[in-house]
Amino acid sequence: MTGTTGSITPEQQQAWWSARVPDRWQIYLYEVDSVAVAYGLLRLVDDRWWLTFGVAAHLRGRGIGKQVARHLVGLVPGPIWADMHVDNAASVGALHAIGFVGGLIEDGVIRGMMHPGST
């Protein structure tokens, strides 16, 4: 994404994003004992909030993705959407588990949506 292949600090990462991201985006880095374990991204596009998220590869499948997604859903004032690849079982599983509903919008893509407080 940046062309940098070495390690960078959370502060460097934050500065990189801050210099590039429009006001209507919100980016979260989740840490345990000062070690980054997950990120979350909220984007306001065409009056809709969109969510995407990721968990460090070695920590997936332990419920962190659901916690991150719940946190992000709780931050927006209305409904929230997410597009997922049908083959991305972890993404579909995490969002479905916290209350996203939806269906195929095109070949291979599921569009999910939920309202805050509907978990």
Ligand X SMILES: CC(C)(COP(=O)(O)OP(=O)(O)OC[C@H]1O[C@@H](n2cnc3c(N)ncnc32)[C@H](O)[C@@H]1OP(=O)(O)O)[C@@H](O)C(=O)NCCC(=O)NCCS
The footprint of ligand X (CB under 6 A) covers 52-55, 60-66, 82, 84, 88-91, 93-94, 97
Return the amino acid letter for 34: S
CB 101 within 8 A of CB 119: no
Nearer to ligand X, 4 or 88 (CB): 88
CA 68 to chain centre: 7
Pick the closer one to ligand X by CB: 8 or 90.
90
Q: How far is the CB of 9 from ligand X (least distance, A)?
A: 21
- Considering beta carbons, is residue 15 or 61 the nearer one to ligand X? 61
* Residues with Cβ within 8 Å of residue 31, at least 6 apart in sequence: 10, 37
Cβ-based nearer residue to ligand X, 55 or 114: 55
Name the token pair of 67.
């916690």
Residue 59 beta carbon to ligand X: minimum distance, rounded to whole angstroms: 7
Contact 91, 54 (CB under 8 A): no
- Token pair of 74, please? 């709780």
Residue 68 CB, shortest distance to ligand X, in Å, is 7
Q: How far is the CB of 31 from ligand X (least distance, A)?
A: 15
